[in-house]
Amino acid sequence: MKPLDTQQDVARIWFESLRDQICAEFEKIEAEAGSDAKFDYLAWDRIDPSGAPGGGGVRGVMKGKVFEKVGVNVSTVGGTFEGDFARTIHGAGEDPHFFATGISLVAHMANPHVPAVHMNTRFLVTTKRWFGGGADLNPPIPYEEDTAEFHAAFKAACDAHDPDHYPRFKKWADDYFYIPHRKVHRGVGGIFYDHVEGDWDANFAFTQDVGRTFLDIFPRIVRRRMGMEFTAAEKQQQLEWRGRYAEFNLIYDRGTLFGLKTGGNIDAILMSLPPEATWS
């Protein structure tokens, strides 16, 4: 088992590397579409409630021809949770000190035939040490081929580590990415996992494979759909669907709440919101 500080550094370096790979691939897709769009990066620092430096991160945002708005954030923060919030975090009820590092991505696409997507992976340390994350596909206009291929890719990634992972984490995603007040799911699902602890090396290897799988499957789906023509009615359908996405992220999303409760950068936290949405 690696020394504790080395685990934190190794995880942070991987998430930053994954960010670089994803952003490069997304910029390549923009170039293929005849766009010169690039990511704009903004570094931010966090101050802990104690007044001490509390880490920070880098917000990356690109607005292009294919990706109407995509945000890819990495952050590494630590310090103490404030008040009652500590009791809502795994392992922080008796000791509010924490460390967290991870990557978070949300892509809203210009063409309604191209699905929006969310992916994040993270490593947290309280009195426990665990990984969490996942990815889910959010198409305004679902295609069975895309849904099946997305799920097959993540099932293969899960099965390579534990045959129980995929059915468990798929159900977790189905339960989590649900909008109770609308009585609908946010999209067509994927996988979601949290509090995965124990064998650090094995769990880190799985989390890396989740990132690699996303980097493989999502660009393939984008390239398949990004050249399709669409109607004004289909664009309207996309804008209305985005309203549901915004409702989920503002009301139910754990990551949004975690970022706000730990003093994260507001622009980075809310980069998940779509650039344009409609409520009819």
Strand partners, 73: 59, 104
- Tell me the two tokens of residue 38: 């690039």
% of the chain exceeding 90 in pLDDT: 80
Q: Render 213-229 in DSSP notation, one character per residue.
A: HHHHHHHHHHHHHTT--
pLDDT of residue 191: 98
- State how far the Cα of 37 lies from the Cα of 20, in Å rounded to an integer: 15
Q: What is the pLDDT of residues 246-259, one digit of tens each?
A: 999 999 988 888 88
Choosing from 90, 97, 113, 118, which is the catalytic residue?
Answer: 118
User: Do the Cβ atoms of 126 and 97 come closer than 8 Å?
Assistant: yes
Place 46 in a pLDDT band, splitting at 50, 70 and 90.
Answer: confident
Residue 165 among the catalytic residues: no
Q: What is the mean pLDDT of residues 131-152?
A: 98
pLDDT at residue 67 greater than cutoff 90: yes
DSSP-based helix, strand, coil % in the chain, nearest 5 = 45, 30, 30
- When mean pLDDT is compared across 90-94, 139-143, 218-222, the lowest value belongs to 90-94
Q: What is the pLDDT of residues 2-42, one digit of tens each?
A: 555 689 999 999 999 999 999 999 999 999 999 999 999 99
Neighbours of 179 (CB within 10 A): 15
pLDDT at residue 1 greater than cutoff 70: no
Q: What is the pLDDT of residues 210-244, one digit of tens each?
A: 999 999 999 999 999 999 999 999 999 999 999 99
Strand partners, 229: none
Domains of the chain: 4-272 (3.40.1500.10)
Place 116 in a pLDDT band, splitting at 50, 70 and 90.
Answer: very high
pLDDT of residue 197: 95
What dihedral do alpha carbons 166, 170, 173, 175 form, nearest 10°?
Answer: -130
User: Do the Cβ atoms of 62 and 37 come closer than 8 Å?
Assistant: yes
What rounded mean pLDDT belongs to the chain? 93
Q: Render 134-187 in DSSP notation, one character per residue.
A: EEEEE-SS--HHHHHHHHHHHHHHHHTT-TTHHHHHHHHHHHHSEETTTTEESS
User: What letter does residue 232 receive in the DSSP assignment?
Assistant: H
